[in-house]
Amino acid sequence: MNDTADTLNHDDQSFAQLSPRLAVGDSEPDRNLALELVRVTEAAAIAGGAWVGRGDKNGADGAAVDAMRSLLDTVNLNGVVVIGEGEKDEAPMLFNGERVGNGRHGNDAAPEADVAVDPIDGTRLTALGYDNALSVLAVAERGSMFDPSAVFYMDKLVTGPEAADMVDLRLPVKQNLHLVAKATGKSIDQLNVCVLDRPRHSKLVEEIREAGARTRFIMDGDVAGAIAAAREGTGVDVLMGTGGTPEGIVTACAIRAIGGVIQGRLAPKDDEERQKAIDAGHDVDKILTTEELVTSDNCYFAATGITDGDLLRGVRYQGDRVTTQSIVMRSKSGTVRIVEAEHRRRKWESYTR
């Protein structure tokens, strides 16, 4: 691959150096953690990308999981997967509670950390060759990520830094859109609102259009849509609607770095799930802020495009050459970097085995 280390300077130090709570021993890091995490998402994206348009989402996901798990074993981290493939995927690896990382930081034990993984955010997008499929990885201080196990879905509102202090998930859709328009200096008919294409959003879509804004539907994978809503120059101004709680927490790690806001409210699918949430100590009516979804301001987010999208370009294959585009963020410094990489396929395949 290209030597992307030159584009990731000393601002992106090892995770163990970011906070006294995480520092273990006096040894210097031998590699930059940000670049290590990008290597992991690159591997998963390349493996999953080989399945784009082949109609087999399980095959794509399995290949990406294998590649991500293999590369995670090389990362100087003592991580616990708190957001993984999960029960719904019957995952044999990268499941919740699994230990990942090599457990070492130089000659010392590596720092403890929460790890959120999604080898492919958008398996169906990958299988059908649609836009916005990503490979995603987030790391934060141990115990800082919200536990999403009680309720799988949440209502979400995501927008950029300009309107972050103005919007409120409890307000009517039209009012929030007017606030975003005012904050960004746009007319409301210039706003693009990202919404998952689901029957449950029919009323939401009607309200968005009645307010005068435009909808931009995504088929799956609302991590890409949410980050695009918080990032300037993507053509997306807001994300609204109900999506996965785990994806909301992963998004919060990114928003910690880029600014903006994600607000969430648990959306139990039935009375049984509502009671499960209450028994777990959750207030299902509470609006969860970015800082409550990820309590630490000491986290990393990395993603590599699998297919083209609003956030990143997808994997490109040409003979023995594979190119990827990734984004890596560090919340402590607010650093956001786009990493362009070129890989020699035969060398990459032997390296990741």
pLDDT(177) > 70: yes
Residue-wise pLDDT tens digits, 250-267: 999 999 999 999 999 999
pLDDT exceeds cutoff 60 at 163: yes
- pLDDT value of residue 105: 54
**pLDDT grade, residue 295 (50/70/90)?**
very high
The number of beta carbons lying within 10 Å of the beta carbon of residue 337 is 19
Query: Is residue 13's pLDDT more than 60?
Result: no
Distance CA 204, CA 141 (A): 36
Q: How far is it, in rounded angstroms, from Cα 18 to Cα 21?
A: 9
| Percent of the residues in the chain that have a pLDDT greater than 70, as a whole number | 85
Question: For tokens 């109900």, what's the residue?
Answer: 242
Q: Does pLDDT of 242 surpass 80?
A: yes
- Provide the angle, in degrees to the nearest 10, between the axes of the packed helices 245-258 and 222-230: 30
The CB-based long-range contact list for 167-176 (8 Å cut-off, 24+ gap) reads 167/261, 167/263, 168/263, 168/287, 169/263, 169/264, 169/265, 169/287, 170/287, 172/207, 173/204, 173/207, 173/208, 173/211, 173/240, 174/207, 174/210, 174/211, 176/238, 176/240
pLDDT(8) > 90? no
Report the Cα 46 to chain-centroid distance in Å: 17
Going by pLDDT thresholds of 50, 70 and 90, the confidence category of residue 302 is: very high
- Tell me the pLDDT band of 301, cut-offs 50, 70 and 90: very high
Asked if residue 328 lies in contact with residue 301, where contact means CB atoms within 8 angstroms, the answer is yes
Average pLDDT in the 92-102 region? Answer: 85
What per-residue confidence (pLDDT) applies to 30? 32
Handedness of CA 329, 129, 155, 170 (dihedral sign): positive
Type and span of the H or E element at 174: helix 173-184
Quick one: average pLDDT of 161-165? 96
| For residue 243, pLDDT beyond 60 | yes
| Two tokens, residue 182 | 């005012």
Instruction: Report the mean per-residue pLDDT for the chain.
Output: 87
Question: In the prediction, which pLDDT does 310 show?
Answer: 86
Q: Would the pLDDT of 158 be above 60?
A: yes
Mean pLDDT of 123-129: 96
DSSP label of 90: T
157 pLDDT more than 50 = yes
The Cα angle at residue 68 between residues 317 and 34, in degrees rounded to 5: 90
In this predicted structure, what is the pLDDT of residue 265? 97
pLDDT bin (cut points 50, 70, 90) of residue 273 is very high
Q: Is the pLDDT of residue 91 over 50?
A: yes
User: What is the reported pTM?
Assistant: 0.85
Q: What is the pLDDT of residue 332?
A: 87
Instruction: Report whether pLDDT(61) > 60.
Output: yes
CB of 230 within 8 A of CB of 260? yes
Mean pLDDT over residues 205-219, rounded? 97
Q: Would the pLDDT of 7 be above 50?
A: no
pLDDT tens track for 307-329 = 999 899 999 998 889 999 999 99
- pLDDT for residue 341: 94
Q: Which amino acid is at 226?
A: A
